[in-house]
Amino acid sequence: MPPTRYTAIPTSTFAAPVSRLMVNLMVLTVLGLSYLLWNHDKIQNIIVEIKQHNLGVVKTIEGCPLHQPDDANSSFVTFIIPSKGRDSIDRTVHSLFNQTRNLWKAVIVFDGEQRQITSAKAGYLSDPRITPYTIPKAGKANFAATLRNYGMSRVTRSEWFAFVDDDDILSPEYVSRLLEETQINTLVETVIFRMSEPRVLPPRNHVMFQLGQVGISFAIKRYLFEDGFWFKPSEIEDFNLLKCIFDFNKKMVISPYVTYYVKGWRPGDLSVEYPRINLN
């Protein structure tokens, strides 16, 4: 009688399917992992697109390196650029492309059809970060307020609005300095940057912004616009809006940083330090 030899049979008939199962699982795992490795880029793109979708940005941003997380988040700040179609706008937009943080979008509002045709030569108008609009000519004087209000009314997803005129340029750090101010004071609702024209405003010794000593170099939370803080056409529309925001007790800061160069004027003396002043 061959005794013990056959006792192994039940075990092995049981063991065989188990080990087959294990092998199958291993093969599947290896196949799965290699699929993930081979398609890594594609999967990352899908993740990025989903993230953008959550932000309300449905279109894929072409030409941007999708592996940089920053690029999925371009709605931190939207720059509003009112334009008469001056050639200098090329430089303004170039200073946006120069930003060290890619967390921005821009809306250009052209004043009148004819102007846009002039400026539309610029290829950047098709950059997915930039949305151009043209509105009927808003008039000869103080048109910028109307154009800025229109631009803001077209944007629903940005956390901040910032402003730059079509003959001025921004320092490459504008966006990163705005981010910095919001990290230092998470409640801040308006950030006033220093502008160089070429003297720096607001001046170093001022503890409050004043008429004629402050300009369009500021950023506001988008919800302030929704709450009714609009530009009112006037020669002092920048100051008036800031004054209104101040009077309503909104949290404001005058930043130490010079980030806005009027007509491209960079500050003469870069070593001067300015204070950070919290208002309200």
Binding ligand NAG by CB under 6 A: which of 66, 76, 175, 257? Answer: 76
d(Cα 74, Cα 51) in Å, to the nearest integer?
11
Residue closer to ligand NAG (CB basis): 76 or 193: 76
- The stretch near ligand NAG (CB under 6 A) out of 4-12, 71-79, 192-200, 243-251 is 71-79
Tell me the CB-side half-sphere exposure of residue 100, using CA atoms within 13 A: 10
Query: Which one of residues 2, 69, 123, 136 is an interface residue with ligand NAG (CB under 6 A)?
Result: 69
Residues 220 and 238: their CA atoms lie apart, in Å, by 12
Helix (H) or strand (E) segment spanning residue 221: strand 218-221
Minimum distance, C-beta of residue 79 to ligand NAG, in the bound complex (Å): 13
201: which 2 tokens?
A: 């405003």
Among 66, 72, 214, 253, binds ligand NAG (CB under 6 A): 72
Q: Which residues, 153 to 212, sit near ligand NAG by CB under 6 A? A: 159, 169
Mask 93-112, x = binds ligand NAG (CB under 6 A)?
A: -xx--x----x---------
Whose Cβ is closer to ligand NAG: residue 112's or residue 172's? 172
CA 244 to chain centre: 25
For ligand NAG, which is the closer residue by CB, 169 or 224? 169
Give the integer Cα–Cα distance in Å for 19 and 177.
60
Specify the stretch interacting with ligand NAG by CB under 6 A; choose among 7-15, 37-45, 92-100, 150-158. 92-100
Residue that the structure tokens 């944007």 belong to = 155
Query: Near ligand NAG by CB under 6 A, which window of 69-77, 81-89, 191-199, 246-254?
Result: 69-77
Q: Rounded to 5 degrees, what are φ and ψ at 48?
A: -60, -40
Min CB(246)–ligand NAG separation in Å = 24
Which is it for strands 218-221 and 160-163: parallel, antiparallel or unpaired?
A: antiparallel
Subset of 142-161 contacting ligand NAG (CB under 6 A): 159
70 binds ligand NAG (CB under 6 A): yes
Smallest gap from residue 264 Cβ to ligand NAG (A): 8
Q: Can you give 227-267 as a three-state secondary structure string?
A: CCCCCCCCCCHHHHHHHHHHHCCCCEEEEEEEEEEHHHCCC
Distance CA 247, CA 242 (A): 9
Determine the Cα–Cα distance for residues 171 and 167; give it in Å rounded to an integer: 14
Tokens 């880029």 label which residue?
41
Site for ligand NAG (CB under 6 A): which residue of 86, 91, 137, 243? 91
Nearest-approach distance from CB 181 to ligand NAG, in angstroms: 12
Tracing tokens 């491209």 back to the chain, one arrives at 264
Binding-residue total with ligand NAG (CB under 6 A): 12
Beta carbons of 134 and 113 less than 8 angstroms apart: yes
Hey, how many other C-beta atoms are within 10 angstroms of the C-beta on 210? Answer: 13
Distance in Å, CB of 105 to ligand NAG, minimum: 12
Q: At its nearest, how many Å lie between ligand NAG and the CB of residue 159?
A: 5
Positions that interact with ligand NAG (CB under 6 A): 69-70, 72-73, 76, 91, 94-95, 98, 103, 159, 169
